[in-house]
A and B are shown apart, each in its own frame.
Chain A
Amino acid sequence: MNFDSYWSAVDEELATIPARPVLDLVPERTTDEATSYTVRLTSTGPYRVFGHLSIPAGDGPFPALLQTPRHGSVNLVPHPNDRSRYVVFGLTHRGQRLADEGFSAAYPGLLTMGIDDPASYIYRGIAADCLRAAEFLMSLDEVDPARVAVSGDDLAVLTAARRPGFSAVRVSGLLFYQATEARLKSSHYPLEELNDHLRAGSSAQIVADTLAYFDPVRHASAVTARTLLAVDDPDWCAALIEVLPAASVYKLTHLDGTDNDFLDAWLAELSGVPPMSKFLV
């Protein structure tokens, strides 16, 4: 199946499945600044995924922020700083904690689950979860459709590429970008999973073919939003930078207080809200 057909099939599958969101108020996380909810909604499979939703106090519409899930069992609840400024939806994909009824992701294990067949690769479903989350967030009356951002790793690029309507994309911690080359550089997980999988007898070509569907380079040209790539090595990421139509690059300093503040301020400016540091002064 070619790239476009693969992803069209995901869209078509999603289109046949009603999301049926259920929101439950979270009193302990509701303040003068924002009201918080847990959300459960249906993605492909069908599978119920989870998210943390928060809506600022006051009269909207507000800028919105979708936080795509990280690679790991737990996603932090959106920070109070973000909850006070954005309609923020932090997605928990299938298999992560709080979305693990019926399927609990393994670490290590998730990155290679079903990887020998693109149609059964777990990240096909995880990508669908992100697309469903984007649809949900954009459907909320409180959201200003001119100011919707997505933040995360490669999944943020993929989501912005496949769902129009995002005005900003903030990317850090790339996972799929040049993964077949990056896996050779160290024994660190999660990419070491690929090495483990190949040692167990899988085909490097088959694994590469599957990963290619998730390569952000192949999705990037469809991203119309302003994009910030926060990376260690701009040279290593040149292939991605070149194909993102509206990209700027931030070279991480690893003074993470400084880095965090820069990333926050970049999105705040585009969204028309004040920058906020997580470190209280």
Chain B
Amino acid sequence: MRNPENAIVEVELPDDFDDFWAAGLADCASYPLDPVLTEMPSLSTEKVIVYDLRYTSYGGLRIAGWYTVPRERPAPHPALVTIPGYISEPTIPKKWSELGYATLAVAPRGKLRSNDVFNPGYPGLLTHNIVDHNTYGYRGFYLDVVRAVEVLLDRPEVDNLRIGLEGSSQGGGLGISTAALLPDVIRCVAAGAPYLCGIMTAPTLTRSYPYEEINEYLRVHPKDVDRVRETVAYYDGLNFAPKVRAPTLLYIGLEDDVCPPETGFALRRVLTCETTLHAYPHCAHHAGLPGVMRIVEDFLAEHLTPGR
């Protein structure tokens, strides 16, 4: 019988972890963001203005997003970056702007509107160049979310002191990494069913995708296991977590076959910021949805004060 709360989930911290990510951020900084916003009248409503957004990220790639702004409320607005799940495309985040947030739903590289240059496919992203941390597919993907926050920092209608992150699954995992890479900027993180935490342990606890991609990779490349372990350590949320300073809301399902609850509890243990964890019995990857969404909304409102 599993004991998720007390299971051992360990990941080695690479000696050059900080230098590695500093180099990635430096690469990003070598490119101007060059954001281009195009208003989309047919997608906008009485309450929300919708923009197609493009900006430049790691390696000079252009990245897409949907940016929505409350129409009826006075600026400056608190802001959110919403981060998509592994197989989902970012939807236009009107609902968050209806609640008062300027919101950027980012489509990191490989997502449909950002895949002209990099398109590892699904399945595929999790194991793309997984034997080399320098060229691993997720490197740019992680940094694309960081750059999305930087876009918000440049927006005149955004209050730079009230920027938060929201997402579930991959969106939860990248909420942790982004908050760690921008500790002075991010004010709060709502992370559901966080993926990419305990990356080498998770595939031993489940046969569900996306982690099953790693099992499949190692089935045909068994000699690569050490190189895979070395690579994913640079990307593991457990190694980012101690650097997060923003208050963090975690919610997990105790029967989550996609992101095993052991990894969620492990994340909770290594977060040193103010953290709240809701663990839902009998829930799988929905991790308490839809009911938990009210808790998420209240958490974000407490820290980002829309309507202030």
**Contacts from A to B (Cβ < 8 Å):** 27-29, 31, 72-77, 79-81, 97-98, 104, 106-108, 186-189, 192, 195-196, 199-200, 253-258, 260, 277-281
Contact = CB atoms under 8 A, between A and B. Distances in A.
A279 B256 contact: yes
A75 B87 CA distance: 8
Contact of A72 (B88, B257, B285): B88
Most B CB contacts (10 A, CB to CB) among A31, A77, A253, A279 go to A279
Contact of A280 (B42, B95, B207, B253): B207
Interface of B: 1-2, 42-43, 45, 48, 87-89, 91-92, 94-95, 98, 112, 121-123, 205-209, 212, 216-217, 219-220, 253-257, 280-286, 289-291
Contacts of A97: 121-122
A280 B206 contact: yes
A108 B209 contact: no
Nearest to B289: A254
A275 to B, nearest CB: 14
A258 B95 contact: no
Contact of A257 (B43, B87, B217, B283): B283
16 contacts: A28-B219, A31-B219, A72-B89, A73-B87, A73-B112, A74-B88, A79-B207, A79-B209, A104-B112, A192-B92, A195-B45, A200-B42, A253-B282, A255-B282, A256-B283, A257-B255
Given A108-B92, A280-B205, A280-B257, A80 B121 contact: no
A189 B283 CA distance: 24
A204 to B, nearest CB: 15
A51 B123 CA distance: 13
Contacts of B289: 254, 256
Nearest to B219: A28
Contacts of B254: 257
A243 to B, nearest CB: 28
Given A72-B88, A188-B95, A278 B209 contact: no
Given A108-B92, A192-B92, A256 B285 contact: yes
**Dominant secondary structure at the A interface:** loop
A98 B283 CA distance: 31
A187 to B, nearest CB: 5
Given A192-B94, A196-B43, A257 B89 contact: no
Contact of A189 (B2, B92, B253, B285): B92
A20 B97 CA distance: 48
A203 B221 CA distance: 55
B89 A73 contact: yes
B131 to A, nearest CB: 15
Nearest to A75: B87
Contacts of B123: 77
A275 B193 CA distance: 25
A79 B91 contact: no
Contact of B42 (A74, A196, A255): A196
Most B CB contacts (10 A, CB to CB) among A107, A253, A258, A277 go to A107
A187 B95 contact: yes
Contacts of A108: 43, 91-92
Contact of A258 (B122, B282, B290): B282
Nearest to B253: A257
A188 B45 CA distance: 13
A126 B71 CA distance: 37
A81 B220 CA distance: 20
Nearest to B280: A255
Contacts of B94: 187, 192
Most B CB contacts (10 A, CB to CB) among A188, A255, A277 go to A255
Nearest to B44: A199
A98 B121 contact: yes
A76 to B, nearest CB: 5
Nearest to A84: B207
A74 B255 contact: no
Contacts of B281: 255
B95 A256 contact: no
Given A107-B112, A108-B91, A199-B42, A279 B255 contact: yes
Contact of B98 (A76, A104, A187, A257): A187
B92 A256 contact: no
Given A79-B208, A279-B255, A28 B87 contact: no
Contacts of B217: 28
A281 B2 contact: yes
B28 to A, nearest CB: 26
Contact of A74 (B95, B122, B256, B280): B122
Nearest to A255: B282
A120 to B, nearest CB: 19
A217 B21 CA distance: 54
A106 B112 contact: yes
A192 B95 CA distance: 11
A278 B87 contact: no
B283 A107 contact: no
Most A CB contacts (10 A, CB to CB) among B94, B255, B289 go to B255
Contacts of A255: 280-283
Nearest to B127: A28
